[in-house]
Structures are given as C-alpha cells and as structure tokens.
Structure 1
Amino acid sequence: MYGVVLAAGRGTRMRPLTDRRPKPLLPVGDRSLLERVFDTAVDVVDEFVVVTGYRGEAIRETVGEAYRSHPVHYVEQAEALGTAHAVAQAEPVVDDDFLVLNGDVVVDPSLPRALADADGTAVAATEVSDPRAYGVISTAEDGSLATIVEKPDDPPTTLANVGCYAFEPVVFEYIDRTPESERGEYEITTTIELLLDDGHRIDVAPYEGTWLDVGRPWELLAANELALGDLDGGVENHGTVEEGVHLDGPVVVEAGARVQSGAYVEGPALIRAGAEVGPNAYVRGSTVVGQNAHVGHSVEVKNSVLMADASVGHLSYVGDSVLGRGVNVGAGTNVANLRHDDENVRLQVKGESVDTGRRKLGAIVGGGAKTGINTSINAGVKLGAGETTNPGEVLTRDRLSE
C-alpha cells in the first residue's frame, strides 16, 4: 500500500512563515509537519508518494529518497487545480491501493490505520459539534457512505469529512471524468460522487483522535503545544547543562544543545541540537528553541516557536510568537501578546481580519527578519521575511514582503 501525501500548496494563509519555506516543512516539536504525517502512516504503508508544488525542491532535499526505510517518491502538481488533480499526479507511480493524507494536518496513527483496515475505498469521518464549516457525511443503513454535502446550512449529521481517504487504482479513471468545479478546481469529493453513482461501495472509517488543520500561524502554535504535551514528565538531558541551571520538567535538551548558568527552563520545553540558552534566560512552556537558535542574557521566551538559527540575544521578551528561520531580535525588543480590552487577538489572513480564538498571541516573524534595538511589536502583528524595523520603532501594523 502507498501513502500519497498532498504537500503542494502555497500556504498563503500561513504567511510570512511560508514566504521562504513550504508549509509542510514548518516545525512541530522535533519534526516537520510532513515528517509527522509520515510517522502516523509508517506502520500501514510500504512506500510514500509526496505531491509537491511550491518550493518542492526544498521538500525533496530535506526528506530525501527514504523515510524510516520506506521509499519516498515525488511527483509535481505544477498548478493548484484541486485535490483530485493533486491525487492524479500520483498515477504514474501508484499501482496498488493507496491512502491519501494531507501534509499539513496533525492526526493520530489511528486514522491511517482505520483507512488501511477498510475494505477498498474509504472516507475518514469524525464527529464535530458544528459541522457547517465542513463536508458533512451521511451514511446508508449498512454504514457505508451515502453522500457528502459541502458546508451545508442545515447539516444532516454531525459527521465531518476529515479529508483523508483510501482508494483503489480504479479511482484514477474517475478522476479523469471529474468535471471542473465552480471555483475552477477538480475536487476529490466530486470524484467520490461519481464512484457512488456507479455503484461503488465506499466505507466510512470512524476517527476520534486529534484533527488539527495547521493552515494559519496560531494553529502552528497549537500544533507545537500538542506535541510538547506528549513529552514525558521529567527532564531528559542529552546536551550540556551548566551548574546553576534549573530545569523544571518536562524538558528535553537535545545532544549538542547548551544551557548556561542562571537559566530557568519551565516545561514543557524542547531545546534542540546546537541551540544555546542563557546565561540568565527564562524559557517557559510550551516553547521550542530550534536547532542552533539562541536565547540569551535576560531574555524571556514563553509559549513560542523559535525556528532554526533564530536569535533573541539579550534583554527581550517574546511571548506566544513564532520566529522564522534566521530571525534576529535586537536587544530590548518586546512583543505584546495580550489585548487590553480582553478580546481575542485578531490576525490579518489574506487581507481579512480573523479572530484567532486566542486571548494571547504575539508576533509572527518571517525568516531572516531583523528588529532594531528597543523595538515594540503589538499583539497579532506580522513582520515579513527579510523585513527590518528601526531602533525604537513601535510596530502596530503588519509589514510584509512583496
């Protein structure tokens, strides 16, 4: 059985974190989103097929030709023309039953297992309290799929389509027959309707585990919170921890990392290989200090993700934020993460102000950005990849790269 992983999207809702990096390679704990998807399916598939598009070369270079002894093949979706079109790109490689998984969704291993255990074609479904924002599944008397209705105002059930599937190779014939939707794409749910119309049985695989679509920056924070929540309760030290350091578990210090005297690390926290924390720094959960990142003197970092090579050198506060690769935070930079009116923080996503559902959310900073000394950044503000601020600047509006 193959595992076909869809990883071609541009990730515009995740900007500026995706300005220089494809979304499936964004970190969740100690692995990328894509690697976490692989891990959920590695026990039920024999080979992976990754459908790439935006910055696909970075995915190929990072993952390579195998993952945990499973061959990895790559096919390209040169133009984003919908999920059915993406699956169709795998046809030259796939000659057996296969699963379709999303490269930017956090799920449990029980999901691909349930799909793999189904007989032939299957759709994963989960119960939700308000299914109006999803494809809603209705079942026949024998429990098989009857219909999928997209985002109905009056949902017939509370079963939501998770967007993961099991298919047989015959599905490629039906993808060829799939018409273009009103929004100009070829949808896999339309392909499924064609299969049903021709009398094909489609099982509904129930799923009750984690289901987090990591499409927007605050959802990356949520995914990291989930990942760190799985850490064991104690301290796991494989690096260098100097005298005078307090580690309040669960804390993992990877090999090659260094925590200097006077640092206080309050878990759950992950200090990755090559990272330096301290002296006299305060790291609070749930925080990931990425590979070769730096948290220096008199810096406090709370519930944040510092990607590889990011640096917060001294005298700064970063809370509920995501710093992209190679970000440099100038001395005295402070990030606000709470609105004074106690309302949820809002974030601009594709030109629209969106309620994040979070009372605390700081800055989202793209790769290679730099702040001048004594910069102040307001809650929910984005600083684009490669952008800078002036010394003493107060940033209250997004500053994005073109």
Structure 2
Amino acid sequence: MQTVILAAGEGTRMRPLTATRPKPMLPIGDRPLVAHTADAAVKAGASTLVLVVGYEGDQLRAYFGDEYAGVPVEYAVQERQRGTADAVRAAREALDDAPFVVLNGDDIYDADSLAELYDAAPAVGAHEVEDPRPYGVFDVTNGTVKTVVEKPEDPPSNRVNVGAYAFPAKAQEWLDVSESERGEREITDVLARVVAEREVRAVDVSFWLGVGRPWELLAANEWFLDGIDRRIEGDVDPAAELRGPVVVEEGATVDAGVVVEGPALIRSDATIGPNAYVRAKTVIGDGATIGHGVEVKNSVLMTGATAGHLSYVGDSVLGREVNFGAGTVVANLRHDDGTVRLRVKGEMTDTGRRKFGVVVGDGAKTGINTSLNAGVKLGADARTGPGETVTRDIDTEY
C-alpha cells in the first residue's frame, strides 16, 4: 500500500540538536529516526514511500534517494509547516486513487502491528498507556472508533492515537480542512470525516515510541540497543574487555585497557581509549573519539564528537563534532533525588527521569575542567571557559 511519511517539521522541541538537521534525521542506533519508520512500513507492506519534506529536506533526499529497501521513494514538499493534514495534502499528487497509509516520521512503530493496520484499512493505530490525558484518545466500541478526543481531562479509554492511519482513497478529497484553534490543519479532522462515513477499526500497536524531545531520543536509542546482538568487526586490542552485546563496526578501534559493557554500539571509524570505560546503553557515533580515562554511560555521541581524556558523560546527548575539553564532567543526578527538568521551547519541562545529563548542539566546545549541571543545554557552536561551572543554558534559543 502507498505510504506517506510525514518528515517536514523543524523539531523545535529538540533544539539545539535540530539547529542543523531535521528531527527525523537524528540518529537512533545505526540509522536515522525516520529510517526506522520506513523500515517498519516496508516490512508491513508499503508499495511506495512518499516522504513529505520541508526543513532541511535535502538531507532526507540524500539518505533515501529514489529507492529504499527495494521500495520506490517519492518526495512531496510542504513549503510551510501548517499541520499534518496540510502535509498529507502536499503529498496528494504523488498518490494513486487508492487507499493509503500515513505515518509520523518521528515515531517508532512495531512492524507486525503496522502490517495488521495495512490489512484492516480503514483503520488507525491505537496504543494503550497508563495516563492518556496528554494524547489524542480514541473512544472505541467493539473494535470500531467512534470519536477521537484531544487531551481530555476525562478520557473515554486508555487507547491513544499514535499517528498511524490507513485511509480509504476517498480521504484524499477530504484533506482541505479548516485551521484548528492552534492555527494548523489537523489530520484528526480528516479522521473524523472518515469515522463519520466509514467503519474505522482500531488496531492495537504493541510497541510505539514518539520521539519529540531530547530525553525521548535517549529512550529510543535505549530501545534500539536492547535489540542488538554481539558483533565485532573492528580492531579490538587483546587487552580490552567487551562484556555482553557489544557491536564494534568495521573501521572502529578499541584500545588497550578499555572496558565496554553491553548493550553498546561503537560505529565505524570511532576510537575508544586507552583505559576508557563505556557503560551500557551507549552509542558512539561514526568517527567519534573517547580518550584516556573517559567514562561514558547511557549516552549518544553523534558523528565526530570527542571526549578526549579524563571526562565523564552520563545520560546525555552530544551532537556532531562536539568537543569536550579535558576534565569536563556532566552531572546527571539531582541531590534531592527529584526528576531532572529541561528547558523546552522556553518552558522548564519535567523529563520524568531521575538521571539525565546534558544536551549539546553540533560544534559546541567546553574548556578544560568544565562542570555541566543536570538538565543544561549548550547550543550549536557554544563555548565554555576553563574551569567554568554551567548551571544555565548557553547560546540556545530554546
């Protein structure tokens, strides 16, 4: 079935990580976030992928090309980000007069559940959560969707909308919806029309992870690492110790005295050690460097990032070409044992995590012996001085 993947947004809640790339191109393990969505769609039965691009769209074009995993790829451009219905409307010319699936390009889905969604069209993906109030919630009777209610105080169920829709062909004519109160053209208004005129099945999605904020990016990488098997292709010194499911890709180097606890992924051309400690749930990106006496735990270091020596990085996300000066230490735990808060679009937001470190934009650099407080963000190309203690965000709009 033809499948539209929405990947045009800026991802402002991910800033500063999206200052130079679209959110769907942020790395989850060994490939971009949107590639996981595309992989699930292909496994579920997608016949064509139509990627709706906008912000930094050339990066998606360069990655996917004209074909992905044997499936043709087409592109539609959403010139202005005016909502999800507007994004699908931009893709309309690329669609045949046939049923079609719409997926969010920043969500991770279980492929088996999507296959059931494809077979059940018209249908929507529904996932059970403990607290549905922050989501769009389905009112379901005998497996059929009656209504969808946005962020209700009194939810009709605990089955929430995961942004996965199998629409009838007729829905292509219903995409010209009015703007909502927040000034966007919403795909849920299209869904309401489909529900009014068709019997729409609610398909249970057994696994779903929305990735909209930095700590959710960390959670997505944790999910990826939980599924890896041990694979050693790079150069590992005999005096290094790899424990459990560790992947060392071809071209990577693990020096003497290094301990790596799995699950962990060390990507091509990365260099680890000597005498470094890479703890579980860590992704070391292409060409990244972890030097002498550095400890890294439950973190993502993107392409070319460097923690050269005598530093600690915990529960953090470091962008491309970040450079931590010697002795840089990340705090990842509040003394009062409360959950760490992070500024998102100008508002302090609870990460829900007892342990969370820092978010660092591409090209940022710290001076030697810098201390970074839990929940701090450093913007792209930000700088700290030697011995600086950072308790507030630096050079970042968000």
Q: Does 1:183 align with 2:178?
A: no
For 1:319, the equivalent position in structure 2 comes to 314
Structure 2 CA distance, aligned partners of 1:167 and 1:281? 51
C-alpha distance after superposition, 1:140-175 (max 9, x if no partner): 45x322111111111122221222100122112111
For 2:48, the equivalent position in structure 1 comes to 47
Q: Does 1:113 align with 2:115?
A: yes
The one of 278, 286, 301 equivalent to 2:296 is 301
> Could you tell me which amino acid in structure 2 is paired with residue 241 of structure 1?
V
Tell me, yes or no, if the aligned pair for 1:386 and 1:401 is still in contact at 8 Å.
no
Structure 1 CA distance, aligned partners of 2:322 and 2:48? 36
The one of 306, 326, 330 equivalent to 1:331 is 326
Tell me, yes or no, if the aligned pair for 1:94 and 1:169 is still in contact at 8 Å.
no
Task: Tell me the SS of whatever aligns to 2:175.
Answer: helix
Task: Tell me the SS of whatever aligns to 2:239.
Answer: coil
The one of 88, 100, 103 equivalent to 1:101 is 103
Q: Does 1:136 align with 2:137?
A: yes
> Could you tell me which amino acid in structure 1 is paired with residue 156 of structure 2?
P
C-alpha distance after superposition, 1:261-280 (max 9, x if no partner): 11111111000011010111
For 2:201, the equivalent position in structure 1 comes to 203
Task: Tell me the SS of whatever aligns to 2:337.
Answer: coil
Deviates more, 1:214-223 or 1:148-157: 148-157
Q: Can you give the 5+ residue segments of structure 1 that lack an aligned partner in the other structure?
A: none
Tell me, yes or no, if the aligned pair for 2:332 and 2:356 is still in contact at 8 Å.
yes
Shift of 1:401: 3.7
For 1:66, the equivalent position in structure 2 comes to 67
Shift of 1:382: 0.3
Tell me, yes or no, if the aligned pair for 2:377 and 2:396 is still in contact at 8 Å.
no
Structure 2 CA distance, aligned partners of 1:315 and 1:128? 42
Shift of 1:139: 2.6
For 1:390, the equivalent position in structure 2 comes to 385
Structure 1 CA distance, aligned partners of 2:100 and 2:92? 11
Q: Does 1:125 align with 2:126?
A: yes
> Could you tell me which amino acid in structure 2 is paired with residue 92 of structure 1?
E
For 1:344, the equivalent position in structure 2 comes to 339
Shift of 1:36: 0.6
Q: Can you give the 5+ residue segments of structure 2 that lack an aligned partner in the other structure?
A: none
For 2:223, the equivalent position in structure 1 comes to 226
Shift of 1:90: 0.9
Task: Tell me the SS of whatever aligns to 1:92.
Answer: helix
> Could you tell me which amino acid in structure 2 is paired with residue 109 of structure 1?
A
For 1:16, the equivalent position in structure 2 comes to 16
Task: Tell me the SS of whatever aligns to 1:131.
Answer: coil
C-alpha distance after superposition, 1:302-358 (max 9, x if no partner): 110000111111111111110001111111111111111111111011111111111
Tell me, yes or no, if the aligned pair for 1:294 and 1:313 is still in contact at 8 Å.
yes
Tell me, yes or no, if the aligned pair for 1:16 and 1:400 is still in contact at 8 Å.
no
Shift of 1:22: 0.8
The one of 344, 363, 368 equivalent to 2:363 is 368
Tell me, yes or no, if the aligned pair for 2:299 and 2:315 is still in contact at 8 Å.
yes
C-alpha distance after superposition, 1:211-256 (max 9, x if no partner): 2111110111111111101123xx4210100120000011010111
> Could you tell me which amino acid in structure 2 is paired with residue 353 of structure 1?
M
Shift of 1:97: 2.1
C-alpha distance after superposition, 1:125-149 (max 9, x if no partner): 12222221111212345x3221111
> Could you tell me which amino acid in structure 2 is paired with residue 112 of structure 1?
L
The one of 212, 215, 233 equivalent to 2:212 is 215
Structure 2 CA distance, aligned partners of 1:192 and 1:263? 53
> Could you tell me which amino acid in structure 1 is paired with residue 210 of structure 2?
D
Task: Tell me the SS of whatever aligns to 1:132.
Answer: coil
Task: Tell me the SS of whatever aligns to 1:133.
Answer: coil
Structure 2 CA distance, aligned partners of 1:195 and 1:218? 34
Shift of 1:77: 0.8
Structure 2 CA distance, aligned partners of 1:333 and 1:40? 39
> Could you tell me which amino acid in structure 1 is paired with residue 187 of structure 2?
I
Shift of 1:111: 2.8
